[in-house]
Structure formats: C-alpha cells, structure tokens
A and B are shown apart, each in its own frame.
Chain A
Amino acid sequence: MKDQRRFPSSKSPCAHLRDAYHNCFNRWYAEKFLKGQWDKEDCVSEWQKYRACLSEHLEDKHLSRFLEVEGTVSSIVQDDLGKRSASGVSQ
C-alpha cells in the first residue's frame, strides 16, 4: 500500500469512455451550442456509457454524490461572481 501511488491518469477504467464523451461534447459545444442550437444535447449514448462506468468506479463519496443526483447541478457558480456581472441576469 505504501508504494502504491494512486495516480489515476489515463489508466482509469473509464478513460476511453471519458475521452469519447468529452470529444463528442467539445464538438457539440463548438458546432451546435455556440451556433444557436440550444434545444438538445448530443452525445447521449456516449454520456450514458461513461456515466455508468463512473458510477461503478468512482471511489470518492463526495464525488459520487454529485453523480447520483442527475440533472441537478450545484449552483455555486452563480452566487457572488454573478454580482460582478454587468449582464444583469437575475438568478
């Protein structure tokens, strides 16, 4: 145990699925989301496979909590940084 360095790096069991999802997401973001196609997300099957893998392998309890609550995203970004926004979007 002492010598075991727990560096997940690319050896993570979900690495391939993660890359596939992130590549798909990046493409969707640049080619669709930014061009006004807001109605739906692509990469559904990539996400489902990746998420299934994560829920099986994610060790950290704090992290898996966020995985369990699908669709709810922490709103920490929206608190005080939002106040500096000149856009006036109310949250």
Chain B
Amino acid sequence: MVKVYTQEHIYKHPWERVTSASWRKFVDPENKRVLSHILQVDTLNHRLDPSARKLYTTRAVTVHCPGPWFIRKLIGQDICHCLESTMVDAQQRSMQLSSRNISLQKFVEVEEKIRYDPHPDNPDTWTICLQETRIYIKPFSALASIAEKVEQRCADKFMQNSAKGREVMERICKYLETESTGLPL
C-alpha cells in the first residue's frame, strides 16, 4: 500500500532566486496564511563543506496532522513533526530536500523529496522542480480497514499543500526579483 505521486514544475526564475525562495517559504511571516498547515520550522543543525561547496541542514517542521479528525482523536495528538534534510551543491547548482514524518510512524510513513535544478533548456533563467511524495500506510496498524480512505485523504491533502507551496514560492520569487532589480530596501 504505497502510493507515489510525482510532480514537476517550472519556475521562470533563475535557480539562485528559486532556492533563496525555498529557504524563505516556511519562515516568512506573510506566508503563514496560505501555508497554515505549517506551524513552525526550526533549524536543528547545519554544516558547510567549503571544499565540496556544499551546504547541509536539518530542520524540524511542525505541522497540523493530516487526515480526518477521528484519526487525530484516535492518536490523541494534533501536531506532527517532520524532519527535513537539505543539501545545496553550489557548484553543480542543485538543491535537494527530503522530508519524512517522525510522528505517527507506527501508522504512516510519508516521504517527500524535492529537487531544484537549472532547467536544461534555459539554465540561467529557469528552474525545474521535481517533487516525489511517497505515502505508505502500515498494513498491520489497527487502522488497516480504513487505511485506504485515509491514504486518499492524506494524498489529497498533500497535493493541495504542494499547490499552495508552489504559489508561495512563485510569490517569493517575484518579490526577490523586484528587490534585485528595483531600489534596495
């Protein structure tokens, strides 16, 4: 019972701008309304490898638990923690993010991978984003009978949230574009 969803999106902005937007996506206060499922993002550690020109970070993302209310009731909690690892390779111009839930692992495993790379046709001005979401409901969980339904709800929610995420990314890119071409703030 694994469901895998892949999405592709092209940002008509250079890779540098898009990855800057990605860092700001969850932390800029003006996005809180749209990304209301994200409650808090904390950086747990980070490491810069100057010789490889790579940056690594691990962040904790606290979200409203997805799924129907009765699941939250059963589980007895309404917030979930996810762990997000990011690697930025400045030389290759590649950013790779991987998130997985660490709450409720007995019931469900959600893993989301995102990569931002320069678009092959337009490497200096466009960015391609590949996103893969893998949702796995544990078959032995007491929730097996309703697992199908939950999985679907979970998947729907994820798709909705990634659309919101893209909307926010586009907005930040636009803002960064204005900032870089207009007057300094």
- Across the interface, which residues of A come within 8 angstroms of B161, CB to CB? none
Residue total for B at the interface (Cβ-Cβ under 8 A): 48
Structural contact, B42 and A18, CB atoms closer than 8 A:
yes
CB distance from B134 to the nearest CB of A (A): 10
The answer for the CA separation of A50 and B46 in the assembled complex, in Å, is 13
Structural contact, B24 and A41, CB atoms closer than 8 A:
no
Name the one of B58, B78, B87, B117 contacting A66, with C-beta atoms under 8 angstroms: B58
Residue total for A at the interface (Cβ-Cβ under 8 A): 48
**Residue ID in chain A nearest B53 by CB atoms:** A38
- A41-91 contacts to B, CB under 8 A, are 41, 47, 50, 54, 58, 60, 62-63, 66-67, 69-78, 81-82, 84-87, 89
Structural contact, A73 and B45, CB atoms closer than 8 A:
yes
Structural contact, B89 and A73, CB atoms closer than 8 A:
no
- Across the interface, which residues of A come within 8 angstroms of B85, CB to CB? 73-77
CB distance from B148 to the nearest CB of A (A): 26
The answer for the CA separation of A89 and B91 in the assembled complex, in Å, is 10
Nearest 3 CB-CB pairings of A with B: A73-B56, A77-B98, A66-B44
Besides A9-B39, A87-B94, 17 new A-B residue pairs in contact (Cβ under 8 A), listed by A number: A5-B78, A14-B42, A26-B23, A26-B24, A29-B23, A40-B48, A41-B46, A47-B46, A50-B43, A54-B42, A62-B102, A63-B102, A67-B44, A73-B57, A76-B98, A77-B97, A89-B89
The contact sample of 24 A-B pairs, CB cut-off 8 A, is: A21-B43, A22-B41, A25-B23, A25-B43, A29-B23, A29-B55, A33-B90, A36-B90, A38-B48, A38-B50, A38-B53, A47-B46, A62-B81, A63-B44, A63-B102, A67-B45, A69-B45, A73-B47, A76-B98, A77-B86, A77-B96, A84-B130, A85-B115, A89-B92
